Amino acid sequence: MKRKSIWKLLIVMMTIVCLTTSTLSAAMTSSDIDQNLTKIQEDLKNVQKQLASVLEVIYRNKLENKSSNDSEKILNYTHSELKKEINDLNYLETGKLNSVQSAKLQVLIASANILDYMVTALIDYVQAEESIEQLQLLKVYFKLDTVISQFMIDYDYFKATSY
């Protein structure tokens, strides 16, 4: 049962990242850029939620002294896909953006980078054996999760002011 949910989670995360990267193109109108930025924001929010689910599985596995190899594979895949996403976001930065779009893009770039760091912290958590190290990694994860949540609020503010 748990293996099925992990693989479903992996499929959802792969789909989210693949759909996001496929929507970027060089010849976008201002409206297209706004729509893509909003879609990327939603995708990043979904990655944030999925990371919380993966963490829950890993935490439970640690309590029960079970392996988290499947979760680690999901995290490694997510890490590589987030790197691609960051490259795509940096590519968008070279386009013609108005000041609000530029601000939104910077929030998304920072969010993607922090999510990537959160993935790295979770990978380290999976591999950590000492309880103090595990605790420190969980603290890092939860603090960064709070930062991401605030960034999404900031993004929504920029979205509201652009209309």
Query: Does residue 30 sit within a domain?
Result: no
Strand locations in the chain (E): none
Cβ partners under 8 Å of residue 83, min gap 6: 116
Instruction: Report which DSSP code applies to 94.
Output: T
Domain count, the chain: 1
Query: Does residue 50 sit within a domain?
Result: yes
- What's the domain range around 99? 2-23+36-161
pTM: 0.80
pLDDT of 56-99, one tens digit each?
Answer: 999 999 999 999 999 999 999 999 999 999 988 988 877 788 88
Task: Name the strand (E) or helix (H) holding 28.
Answer: none
Query: Does residue 71 sit within a domain?
Result: yes
pLDDT of 21-60, one tens digit each?
Answer: 444 444 567 788 888 888 999 999 999 999 999 999 999 9
